[in-house]
Structure 1
Amino acid sequence: MNPLVKEYSDYLRIEKRQSPNTIEAYCRDLSRFVRFFSDKDLFDLTTNDIRGFLLSLRDEELSPSSIARSLSSIKSFYRYLFQDKQLKINPAEILETPGRLRKLPNVLSISDVEKLLNCPDTGTVIGLRDQAMLEVLYATGMRVSELVSVKGNNLDMLAGCLRTMGKGSKERIVPIGMVARKVLEDYLLNSRPVLAKGHKVEELFLTRRAKPMTRQGFWKILKNYVKQCNIKTDVSPHTLRHAFATHLLDRGADLRSVQQMLGHSDISTTQIYTHVLDKRMLEVYDRFHPRGSGAF
């Protein structure tokens, strides 16, 4: 890794307390940037040089969101160098992140969610665990990285809530519905002790080997159930988070409450879910209104 990028990643980890996943994303973007200018000193780059790099990304047919993220990483990197007085002029300062059309997330219907949540075989310890993970993810809207990091003492079954650590090491409390609580109780009584095999493990969800569940492990489990249920929508661990938010808003929840439950620092991030509802509203209008496109 380039020494400056390494220095910056240490700054993100120690001073900014960014999550490992966020730091990895920044470093990945900056490594591509450094490779592009392998014959130049990063301190000598001009605004036009950086613009040229961004154009090269477009030529490589990277998506607008990927280019915007890359620019955001570069701006943050040079802001650090400037504030640390390693640079007299910040060449990335005047570059503006292009307004981007966010891709609307795939949203599972309530019936598809029901199929997915009921898919695990609850007659087995693995099925009990899998159903508990799926129910908690949908009940709380947590990120999968938060789900696999949940510890037993983060859970308050009596109050019906769970404490989780989100991006930037920000702690939040999220409610858990009655259905998810019952499934969790079943897992804690009849599955987790078997999976733990007498070992003391802090994490709530365990693998067959009495180790904490991983993001990759959960992703494989989810893909298997999606296939079993014959769900046609593209599904990722984040899809249940999207479904959580959209289904809440669809039933009248206010945007600010959903923002808090998701752990979004900026409400504009949450607002993408209102666009999903707007799109659905237009589809309903076109299909059923006498003067909609479905009438012709």
Structure 2
Amino acid sequence: MSKSRKHGVFAVSGDVVVLPTKQYEDVRDAITVAAALETVFKQMQIVGHRQRTIESYEYIFNQFMTVNRLQYVEDISVESIYHYLDVLEVSPRTKLIRLKSIKAVLSKFYNNSWIKDRIWAIIHIKVDKEVKEGAKESDIDKLLHLIDQTTFIGFRDAAAIKLMYKTGIRISTLGELRERHIDFDNLFLKLDGLALKNHKFLKLPIDEEVAAILKVLIKLNDGVRNHFGTGNHNVFITQNGLAMNTNKSSNCASSKQLNKYAKRYGLKNINAHAIRRAYAESLLEKGASVALISKALGHSDLAVTTQYLDLDIEEVANNLRGIF
């Protein structure tokens, strides 16, 4: 029978094993994934990440945590990432998107010294290159002709399609577009960092037709906002006078409108990305350089633009050689 170190209420049995100091410190310092995410998302907000981006990371990483029943950051392993990817019943391309989000968050864990090694760097998903074509100008013209522009929704959607095709702006930028971004005197869109994905300033020309359409739309917006008592300066608003960028489904709602029109009128390649690609392809056909098109699209890398235009690597190299 073991002897006690002390007698009475505070006696400690000799059978009790006292944790070594180092092990105790590890337990004390362990950080939960939930606490780490809260800190990371605050950091992202401070440096200017969009709320939509943060919400996307949050959704995917919480799904990753749930699948693996993770509680502490130190529990994250290569095996847990592979397990998450394995149970996902989605396409390889979607898995790649999810993996990129997981890696982005883990990189921030690493930067905060909560993870010692970049364990995720060895994980890669290969997907076949998906060649996406731009919308045909004839289909865009047909769509604009068929949309009922005597209604507010119809006119708004037609204005959005026309603006995207003439400037190549993303559908997300439509939701962020404000009246102050339009220079009607000099016929330019002056887009600041808050309106663009890459947070850089971009200046794009518009023609008089687009300017006239936007002026009519803004006037219609004033009437809608006055009727519902809403206050904003967004160029594209809902039929209830609300900004279309107030929730994470706003882009989806705009995309659904395009999908609805495509099905209704039998148009196969009408969507926001196809219209943006059509703009890029039209610039290329008119002789614009890849570098110029890249700037107009707001791409941070020429490689993205060449892939966007589906340019052959040899074609790019030969064209570059011709310059020298």
TM-score, normalized by length of structure 1? 0.78
**Aligned twin of 2:10:** none
Partner of 1:291: none
Gap regions ≥5 residues in structure 2? 1-32, 245-249, 316-324
1:119 maps to 2:146: yes
Q: Which residue of 2 aligns with 1:85?
A: 113
- Identical aligned residues as a percent: 25
Q: CA RMSD in A?
A: 2.8
Per-residue CA shift, 1:147-169, capped at 9, x if unaligned? 02211111002222112321253
Partner of 1:286: none
1:92-124, CA deviations, whole angstroms, 9 ceiling, x for partnerless residues? Answer: 2x4153454332224211100111223333444
Q: Secondary structure at the match of 1:174?
A: strand
Partners of 1:158 and 1:39 lie apart in 2 by 57
Query: Is the alpha carbon distance of 1:249 and 1:40 closer, same or farther for their aligned partners in structure 2, counting shifts above 3 Å?
Result: same
Aligned to 2:43: 11
Q: Secondary structure at the match of 2:204?
A: strand
Q: 1:222 to 1:52 in 2, by over 3 A?
A: closer
Q: 1:18·1:168 contact (CA, 8 Å) conserved in 2?
A: no
For the Cα contact (< 8 Å) 2:70–2:76, is it kept in 1? no
Conservation of the 8 A alpha-carbon contact between 1:65 and 1:102: no
Q: Which residue of 2 aligns with 1:245?
A: 280
Structure with greater contact order relative to length (CA < 8 Å, sep ≥ 6): 1
Alignment equivalent of 2:76, drawn from 32, 37, 45 = 45
The residue identity in structure 1 corresponding to 2:92 is: P
Task: Give the C-alpha shift of residue 237 in structure 1.
Answer: 2.8
Matched residue SS, 1:163: strand
3-state secondary structure, aligned to 2:162: helix
Is 1:153–2:204 an aligned residue pair?
A: no
C-alpha separation in 2, matches of 1:86 and 1:124: 55
SS in 2 for 1:169: coil
Q: Given that residues 46 and 91 in structure 1 are in contact (C-alpha distance below 8 angstroms), is that contact kept between their aligned partners in structure 2? A: yes
Q: Match of 1:173, SS?
A: strand
The aligned residue for residue 54 of structure 2 is: 23
Deviation of 1:135 after TM superposition, in Å, equals 0.9
Deviates most, 36-45 or 256-265: 36-45
8 Å contact from structure 1 (residues 29, 70) kept in 2: yes
Q: List per-residue Cα deviations over 1:162-185 (Å, max 9, x = no partner).
A: 123212533322222343223223
Equivalent position amino acid for 1:117 in 2 = L
- State the shift of 1:48 in Å: 4.1
In structure 1, which of residues 207, 211, 217 is the aligned counterpart of residue 238 of structure 2? 207
Residue 231 of structure 1 and its aligned partner are, at CA, apart by 0.9
What's the TM-score once normalised by structure 2's chain length?
0.72
- Listed as ranges, the gaps of 5+ residues in structure 1 are 282-296
- The answer to whether the Cα contact below 8 Å between 2:162 and 2:210 also exists between their aligned partners in 1 is yes
Aligned residues: 271
The CA distance in 2 between the partners of 1:6 and 1:40, in whole Å, is 14
Whole-Å separation in 1 of the counterparts to 2:104 and 2:198: 15
1:49 CA displacement:
4.0
Match in the other structure for 1:176: 206
Residues 119-152 of structure 1 show CA distances to partners (whole Å, capped at 9, x for unaligned) of 3334444443332222112112112121022111
Asked if structure 2 preserves the Cα contact closer than 8 Å seen for 1:131 and 1:183, the reply is no
1:288 matched to which residue of 2? none
State the 1:47 CA deviation.
3.1
Paired with 2:198 and 2:185, the residues of 1 have a C-alpha distance of 28
Cα pair distance change 1:168/1:9, threshold 3 Å: farther
2:53, 2:264 → 1: CA distance?
A: 33
TM-aligned CA distance change 1:175 to 1:30, over 3 Å:
same
